[in-house]
Structure 1
Amino acid sequence: MPVVEKTSGARVTIRDIGEFTHGDRADVGAADAAYLCDERGDFERVDDAVAAEDGPADEDVHEEDGPPDGAGPIPDPSDHSVADLRDKLSDIDDVDVLAAVYDAEEAGKDRDTAIEAIQGRINAVRED
């Protein structure tokens, strides 16, 4: 199993994995490592050999395995205009996913209007 380390950004909770602050490490599956390192960008892979010392890798992968939320990749807000981001946010009903988008925006472009849109969607989901 790959080992990832939180390398930037604020504290974050990743559903089905745990809560992380700068410097925290975790053994995760390959799909989760790809999501955390490649899509989120605030984690980095560290020595995979560390995880191998804990025991044999779980090679039993099934088709239904996927990202932790099962809803597909979290949109990277820096890839979208604020208007486009608002449209994408309207389809997300998971506060953890929205919090991850918020963190990504804050760590990236940090646009006030995007932050307001994300926070507004978080508030709307919490009210429901």
Structure 2
Amino acid sequence: MDFYKIRFPAGYTINDIHNDNIDLHVILPDGDVYFATFFTLLNIKSLMEKDHITYFWATDMVIVADLRKETIKSAVQQFVVDECIATVLTKIGNIQSVYGSDMSYAEIETGI
């Protein structure tokens, strides 16, 4: 049994696994759907330099070493194991409200 599923709303399109960011959904078997944006440190630095800013923040931000699918999966798995997913990510609804009333957990295709 899956303990969670990961989907990329805009698809998994990473130009540089060390300098990029990506939005994702984490779906739990109870139907809850959570949102986060995963950033790399180099991406944050690049964004700050490009925009000439002295600080950077984003809601639902998770910083990872790289954006390989394995790294993303490992981070999400740790959130689930540590039972901190609701603290780290934001609940955006349930499967029916996010993906449609006819969708079930079993029908959700994972991006990883």
TM-score range, shorter chain: under 0.3
Higher strand share: 2
Instruction: Flag the structure with larger Rg.
Output: 1
Higher helix share: 1
Asked which structure has the greater RCO (Cα within 8 Å, sep 6+), the reply is 2
For normalisation by structure 1, the TM-score amounts to 0.24
For normalisation by structure 2, the TM-score amounts to 0.27
